[in-house]
Amino acid sequence: MKKRILGNSGLEVSDLGLGCMGMSWSYGPPKDKKEMVSLLRNAVEMGVTFFDTAEVYGPLLNEELLGEALEPFRGQVVIATKFGWAPGPNDKERWSLINSKPEHIKKVAEDSLKRLRVEVIDLFYQHRVDPNVPIEEVAGAVKDLIQEGKVKHFGLSEAGANTIRRAHAVQPVTALQSEYSLWYRKPEIEIIPTLEELGIGFVPFSPLGKGYLTGKIDQNTKLDPSDFRNTVPRFTPENRKSNQSLVELLDRFATQKGATAGQIALAWLLAQKPWIVPIPGTTNPDRLKENIGAASIELTAADLHAIEKAAAKIKIEGARYPEIMEKMTGL
């Protein structure tokens, strides 16, 4: 697989990364550990060098999984993890408190280093902006960790343009991770221009619309009771039915290119900017291979214009998150 550099940072990663959350959390029960170790190592063999995790995934299980699976490839891969959440006082199983106090950030870094089995964290994101801690203090804490040799690069997730600027002024931000795809394009208004101006890379999560853009989910699909998509307005049966026109659009281009709808969705993202690196997640070896194949699909200027023209006529129904989660973002 080809490589890309995230903004002006010099951090080189594969064109497509691998989002690992679903292996341990959110999309139903945790998957078989042995199978996930195999999938992660196969991803490396197929050219993926960029892996995304967080302490809250599991919680803690996902970092431990990556630490075991990727230990043989230390120095050959880039592992991104995140800080910023903590257990609620009466909520042992699900972490519910935002916490980006400098002392907490530094403790998370120490713990993540152990779980990931590395000597330095390649990319350390603030998972969500903490309204109670000035972003300058957050950036300063990560700057200290970078000076101590415990972190290489600083990242933000779901931060707004002003927050990005303020953080970047204290410690250069290497990458912003936020949702972006053909069915969520709000970052195009302010975020992408800001990133381009400052030389910051963009790492879209949910580049396949939490699986919807693959065309494998429709209004009749039954999700596991523990799947968080059951709480997402965009995933009600009615909205899934209404949004099928976007999948049909992708299917039309997929037929022309001998590809799949999901591959076209990823190829579209890759064509937007050379410093955009999507991180589709999967627990399925066949889907992993399919996603990686998207990096080889070339969309011409005419293709992109046609997709844009057709997509402009489609109104996406349903919010991307429940209201309480949407309020936690800075977008």
CA nearest 155: which of 167, 145, 144?
Answer: 167
pLDDT per residue of the chain (331 residues) written in tens, 0 to 9: 999 999 999 999 999 999 999 999 999 899 999 999 999 999 999 999 999 999 999 999 999 999 999 999 999 999 999 999 998 877 656 788 999 999 999 999 999 999 999 999 999 999 999 999 999 999 999 999 999 999 999 999 999 999 999 999 999 999 999 999 999 999 999 999 999 999 999 999 999 999 999 999 999 999 999 999 999 999 999 999 999 999 999 999 999 999 999 999 999 999 999 999 999 999 999 999 999 999 999 999 999 999 999 999 999 999 998 877 776 666 5
Exposure string of 104-124, with b = 16+ CB inside 10 Å and e = fewer, is bbbebbeebbebbbbebbbbb
- Catalytic-residue membership of 27: no
Specify the pLDDT at position 330: 61
Instruction: Categorise residue 25: left if φ over 0, alpha if ψ from -120 to 50, beta otherwise.
Output: beta
Please give the distance of CA 241 from its chain centroid, rounded to a whole number.
25
Domain extent listing, the chain: 3-326
d(CA 285, CA 290): 9
Q: Which CATH number fits domain 3-326: 3.20.20.100, 3.40.630.10, 3.40.640.10, 3.40.50.300?
A: 3.20.20.100
Q: Which tokens in the block code for residue 270? A: 């890759």
Kindly name the residue from 27, 57, 125, 180 that is annotated as catalytic. 57
| CB of 18 closer than 8 Å to CB of 279 | yes
Please give the distance of CA 125 from its chain centroid, rounded to a whole number.
11
Q: Is 140 helix (H, G, I), strand (E, B) or coil?
A: helix
User: What pTM does this model have?
Assistant: 0.96
